[in-house]
Structure 1
Amino acid sequence: MKAVTGKLAASAGVLAGVILMAGCTTPPAKQDPVVELRVLETSDLHMNLMDFDYFKGVEDPTIGLARAASLIHAARDEAANHVLVDNGDLLQGSPMGDYMASLSLQEWQLHPAYKAMNTLNYAVGNIGNHEFNYGLEFLSQAVAGANFPYISANVYCAVDNCLPGISKDQPLFDPWLIKPTRVVDTQGQTHTLNIGYIGFVPPQIEQWDRAHLHGKVYAKGIVESANTYVPLMKQAGADIIVAIPHSGIGSAAAPHDPDAENASYALTQVKGIDAIMFGHSHAVFPHPDYSSLPDTDIKKGLLNGVPSVMPGRWGDNLGIVDLTLTLSNGQWQVTDSSAQARPIFDSGKKAPLVTADANIHGSIAHEHQGTLDFVDAPIGKASANMYSFLSLIQDDPTVQIVADAQIARVKQAIADLPDNERHHYEGIPVVSAAAPFKAGGRHKTPADAAQYVEVDSGELKFRHAADLYLYPNTMVAVKVSGAELKDWLECSANQFNQIDPQSTSPQTLINWTHPTFNFDVIDGIQYRIDITQPARFDRNCQLVNPNASRITALSYTDDNGNTLTGEAFAAQSFIVATNNYRAYGGQFAGTGPEYVVMELPDTNREVLAAYIQQQTSTHGTVNPSADHNWGLVNVSNPKLKVLVQTQNSDRADRFVAGQQKRPMVKTGVDELGFAVYQLDMSQENPGPQ
């Protein structure tokens, strides 16, 4: 029977084989599951939750989480699997952030940032450097209202309980987390994907917010921390790892600076990171501006093969990374990827691409009204308009009034010192370092063309002071030599591209890779800038041309008419009124903790508002007119074509026509919507030389 059975079975097998061959059908090969995952990112919102410009008091369709939220909803509708992350720099920036900081901690419980964000189902948030601007207690209370977790892999407590329950040398927040996430593959089958998230912040927070952080926290390098934690995340079962560095792209040529502020490119070389959702630089990636960066695919949004996105700032773009994941031999692998930054506004058509999310508006209606009341508090009157349209090429009223306020405050602080302390400052000139914070942004997005200070003469309100001084810095003074002051200015002068004085081709003057907030104007001295010379320092004040010198005609004249130049100026000591960011930053010559001689409790914005009130009370108005203590050196080539950009508006046109120190001719509008002017470098209107 066994033999018969075997023969029958064999016969049946042969018959089945014939039938299969005859029908040309074979069992389909089992396919590996494929999951398409979309990772969405907001970054650098800076409390621009509403699509509203509090400085001008009007709706602004180019900014705001309320508009970005509509993009979030649309992007989710396009993808079966999606997660949303925030990169940080959330709690400071707009007047709503200032309004919340002006309240005592007892006056609020749930911060409006989280009233808005809690409607959007974020998976995780990362801490940005501006989260520390109002101190650790404010930060702790604010993030407690988030219904999503926070991470930060490179900030640690320097003492016990720097935040409640955190011991010395423990991370301030969880360095990373793994979130089991339900996903559906392309065949409709469900899986659990263990998504790992890790966040970073620039280690420079220790200097930038020293007043709040000194002795309380310390930071480690971004790449150093990634190399420590990413392997641990893989060991803990992370199927994929999404890095969320609050950090710009940084250097591709030398990406291994352990203390780098901008280290996202360097993170692409850390094995195990599958996507990078970055920020901090307020720029957009992928973007043609980065097409020359090595190993960069602008079309697919890849940095060194890793999908990466940076979504601008203030909610003007949504970051999107799309990952195709294949489950092979029990392991999820990224088999395809791409990234894009999706805008909320069409700059070409000058039209909004989305409407605002009503849920966002409704969630923070109370704080929006409180902010309107806050910024409308009157503080004085101005005798002239304060517009920053020309602040990068000539002395400017928006910088001048800040300088005047800072000098007055430090002089008063010195006068208020006891006799046994005041003598340390006697005979030392007090000068000011101030920069144009709003002067075209980074010239990266169409929204930057609107980023100028526009304060009309007449009644001034607190929102005008906030417009003139954008950040919640505190007043700090440093003591420097004249030689150090010159190098301070040499670094600032990197704001300009080198101009070939013999060329007849168009040459762009402004070096937009140098942030305008690093274009310090030193008021209280006189100087000129020779733009035909190479820059002595790069944007980070690193020496690049040791023999270069752009700063000329440098001098100081005291109240008695005595003027110091040359070696006498270099040897003279100066007290520089500035802000905590600059004083403790250590980048510019004469800055760093060892140079600090005075820390004041006032914010620079409060100092400015108080100065406006005092001047109005004493004189009826405050006079912001620029004293033109600095300017550009003439270049005697009538065929020279030097181009500069500023806002394209009737108001800007009138201001340029009436205030230009050099003849300027409007030649057109660039692709971002900036007006382009040709600057006559051969002559200048009468003024200080």
Structure 2
Amino acid sequence: MFNKKTLAVVIASTLGLAACSNSDDDMITSAQVDLRILETSDLHTNIMDFNYYSGQEDKTIGLARTASLITAAGNESENFVLVDNGDLLQGSPMGDYVADQFKKDLGIAAGETHPAYKAMNTLDYVVGNIGNHEFNYGLDFLEQAISGANFPYINANIYCDAYDCWNELQRGDNLFTPYLIQEKEVVDINGNKHTIKIGYIGFVPPQVLQWDKQHLEGKVRADDIIKTAEKFVPQMKAEGADVIIAIPHSGIGSPENPGEIEAENATYALSLVDGIDAIVFGHSHSVFPSENFGGIENIDIDKGTINGVAAVMPGRWGDNLGVIDLKLELKEGKWSVMGSQSEARPIAWTDDNGDNAYVEADQSIRDAVEQEHLGTLEFVDQPIGVGSANMYSFLTLVQDDPSVQIVSDAQLNKVKQQIASIPALKDIPVLSAAAPFKAGGRHEVPSDADQYVQVDKGELTYKNAADLYLYPNTMVAVKLNGAELKDWLECSANQFNQIDISSTAPQNLINWDTHRTYNFDVIDGVTYQIDVSEPSKFDNDCAVIEGNETAERITGLSFEDEQGLVHTGEELAAMEFIVATNNYRAFGGKFAGTGPDHVVLELPDENRDVLAQYITAQTAEHGVVKTEADHNWSFKTLDTATALDVRF
């Protein structure tokens, strides 16, 4: 698992467990030390500050820019440690490029160092945790890749489940080193030196066995995060750990049911495990502390604590650096955490003048991966599949559109696969919500031509996937009833102005002023019509418009089940559905049937990656991927004798 340098670090750490003394004065009985913990997480091989889909520099992402924050934050503190929380090896075209080289017995298979580690080895990482996406390319790839890291890896809840795993591990053994206790020399506020023992323990969602079944089934097992922590944290304390830092690749989870067995997002529950002093977490690509988590019981977003435990989550793709400052106090030979402050430092922000501001890139990171960067540029121009028809979004606001349809189809396919093994969800009908992202500009200027999807039939590349799905959203599914489904569509239909069927004057159909086109959700799996002669029930924030409480623009809403039975009206309103969508929509709570209480499936996969994988899989199976709209929605014909002049 580890290269020789890493093994030396682990051995030295283990041998050092018996030697804990003050470097300057063994007789010092009280002291105060400021310890800073820095965290990166969910880099997803975004090492360069570059968007490989658009082919342009992107100042809002990349370890090349996060590295500058790391240097600055380290210079501010005499005592700091730097850790990575995983989801490092997959998620960008560079990650796919390296994996492709591995399959061809090139790159890391030939002894090369993975570009992620070429970059990270220039920094002072002390430990890395395994994320769920580390398994995406298989165990052989993972073993080869992390052998290039000049720092050790940990994970406590993945076990060997075969008679012969790597490195002579046997069934029941931890697949990775479950935890490490490292000695660190620190300087107290009076300038005296001390040696403290810092314990690190890592976790990954047990759901890896579902997400990467093809790579892991029969080879490993994944245990519950909380039960694993309750097993190992006392051991770490018994072995002399002065400070324990948990590194769960896991989102916050719910305070309502923190004891849920095998929970994917278990950080809230982990904060209740006795003995953990700080939590640096990730996985859900959110930023903590932030206003997004305000109002949650026992979470302090000003200090950055969960149940009083210091915590931080630094977003994704290197857009933030996690920073925790612990105040440690030595009393009677024992170190304790007396206070903390957490923050996520961004690499891009809006300054006091309202202008965009950015951290400068660290050129040494760029230089470290220059070879792989050039290789990736060639790689993204390679085909990922073949489209059956043109995908142009010129008419996407007035008819069902292929550029929206293919995204919806990919989401639907992914969620159906994921819930097939979840008894509570597998029998619920799955629908999919997608919106047009490039639907034209708001003014008649030449640059409007750039604001449409224009993908020709035939060969499709990664760049085409970016054209079809602009945003770095992740896959989420919500559960709702048919009545909520109808109101979701009613709010989407606010995209259109009300048409007066008795007027011959010109009337604009599209509500450009208050309704954004990315909020015009089309929901596939049902059929319906939109009656634009009716007033909108909702405004652009999905709030009911006073006086329009009974308005109905959505007509003929129906669902046909697998047996061919068609459900409408009150019967449909009472049915349950799962809707595949993105994290922005699912957690936003704006549309009926959305919000945290409705979320039943949260995947770390980006919608754009799901789309690219769908194109490849469909092409492999059928020769092409269907890139045509199914026309499940349309406008209701307006019954009027008046010659209408409706414009869009």
Instruction: Tell me the TM-score normalised to structure 1 length.
Output: 0.63
Residue range with higher mean Cα deviation, 394-403 or 273-282: 394-403
Please, which of 380, 389, 392 is the counterpart of residue 385 of structure 1? 392
Change (3 A) 1:268 1:437: farther
Kindly state the Cα deviation for residue 76 of structure 1 after the two structures are TM-superposed: 0.4
Other-structure match for 1:400: 405
User: For each residue in 1:54-89, what CA deviation from the matched residue of structure 2 results, as whole angstroms up to 9, or x when unmatched?
Assistant: 111100001111110100000001000110011111
Which amino acid counterpart does residue 81 of structure 1 have in structure 2? Answer: N
Change (3 A) 1:432 1:267: closer
CA distance in 2, matches of 1:304, 1:276: 11
Instruction: Tell me the TM-score normalised to structure 2 length.
Output: 0.66
Residue range with higher mean Cα deviation, 102-111 or 456-465: 456-465
CA distance in 2, matches of 1:34, 1:300: 19
List, as ranges, runs of 4+ consecutive aligned residues in structure 1 with deviation greater than 6 Å.
Answer: 379-382, 387-390, 403-408, 431-435, 437-440, 485-492, 497-501, 528-533, 588-591, 631-634
Q: Over aligned residue pairs, what C-alpha RMSD do you find? A: 4.9
Please, which of 215, 218, 223 is the counterpart of residue 215 of structure 1? 218
DSSP 3-state at the match of 1:33: strand
CA distance in 1, matches of 2:179, 2:451: 40
CA distance in 2, matches of 1:297, 1:284: 14
User: For each residue in 1:511-540, what CA deviation from the matched residue of structure 2 results, as whole angstroms up to 9, or x when unmatched?
Assistant: x9xxx9xx99655x636899999xxxxxxx
Q: Is the 8 A contact 2:200 2:245 kept in 1?
A: yes
Other-structure match for 1:565: 566
* Alignment of 1:553 onto 2:557: yes
CA distance in 1, matches of 2:220, 2:490: 41
User: For each residue in 1:435-469, what CA deviation from the matched residue of structure 2 results, as whole angstroms up to 9, or x when unmatched?
Assistant: 659979xxxxxxxxxxx998533486521354358
Other-structure match for 2:378: 373
Residue range with higher mean Cα deviation, 394-403 or 93-102: 394-403
Q: Is the 8 A contact 1:41 1:86 kept in 2?
A: yes
Other-structure match for 1:165: 168
Q: Is the 8 A contact 1:488 1:589 kept in 2?
A: no
Name stretches of at least 5 consecutive residues in structure 1 with no aligned partner: 1-28, 409-430, 441-451, 472-484, 502-507, 534-549, 571-575, 579-587, 592-601, 616-621, 635-684
* Alignment of 1:62 onto 2:72: no
User: For each residue in 1:284-343, what CA deviation from the matched residue of structure 2 results, as whole angstroms up to 9, or x when unmatched?
Assistant: 111112120112221111111111101111110000000111111001111111100000
Q: Is the 8 A contact 1:384 1:458 kept in 2?
A: yes
Kindly state the Cα deviation for residue 403 of structure 1 after the two structures are TM-superposed: 6.4
Kindly state the Cα deviation for residue 129 of structure 1 after the two structures are TM-superposed: 1.0
Kindly state the Cα deviation for residue 633 of structure 1 after the two structures are TM-superposed: 12
User: For each residue in 1:327-380, what CA deviation from the matched residue of structure 2 results, as whole angstroms up to 9, or x when unmatched?
Assistant: 110011111111000000014645233111111101111111111001113566
CA distance in 1, matches of 2:483, 2:125: 41
Other-structure match for 2:107: 108
Other-structure match for 1:39: 37
Kindly state the Cα deviation for residue 387 of structure 1 after the two structures are TM-superposed: 9.9
CA distance in 2, matches of 1:520, 1:204: 30
Residue range with higher mean Cα deviation, 284-293 or 490-499: 490-499
Other-structure match for 1:238: 241
DSSP 3-state at the match of 2:69: helix
Task: Map 1:151-162; keep pairs closer than 5 Å.
Answer: 151-162=154-165
Please, which of 625, 628, 632 is the counterpart of residue 629 of structure 1? 632
CA distance in 1, matches of 2:395, 2:294: 31
CA distance in 2, matches of 1:437, 1:64: 28
Kindly tell me the number of residue pairs found equivalent between the two proteins.
499
Please, which of 119, 137, 142 is the counterpart of residue 140 of structure 2? 137
* Alignment of 1:93 onto 2:97: no
* Alignment of 1:364 onto 2:369: yes
Other-structure match for 1:83: 81
Q: Is the 8 A contact 2:31 2:329 kept in 1?
A: yes
Other-structure match for 2:461: 462
**Which of these two proteins has the greater Rg computed from alpha carbons?**
1
Q: Is the 8 A contact 1:33 1:326 kept in 2?
A: yes
Other-structure match for 1:661: none
Q: Is the 8 A contact 1:45 1:90 kept in 2?
A: yes
Which has the bigger relative contact order, CA under 8 A and spacing at least 6?
A: 2
Kindly state the Cα deviation for residue 590 of structure 1 after the two structures are TM-superposed: 14
Other-structure match for 1:315: 318
Kindly state the Cα deviation for residue 119 of structure 1 after the two structures are TM-superposed: 0.9
Question: Between the two proteins, what is the percent identity of the paired residues?
Answer: 47
Change (3 A) 1:337 1:187: same
Kindly state the Cα deviation for residue 165 of structure 1 after the two structures are TM-superposed: 2.1
Change (3 A) 1:228 1:557: closer
CA distance in 1, matches of 2:486, 2:57: 35
Name stretches of at least 5 consecutive residues in structure 2 with no aligned partner: 1-26, 414-428, 439-449, 472-476, 494-513, 539-553, 573-577, 581-597, 602-611, 638-645
Q: Is the 8 A contact 2:202 2:248 kept in 1?
A: yes
Change (3 A) 1:486 1:496: closer
Kindly state the Cα deviation for residue 628 of structure 1 after the two structures are TM-superposed: 3.7
Which amino acid counterpart does residue 457 of structure 1 have in structure 2? Answer: V
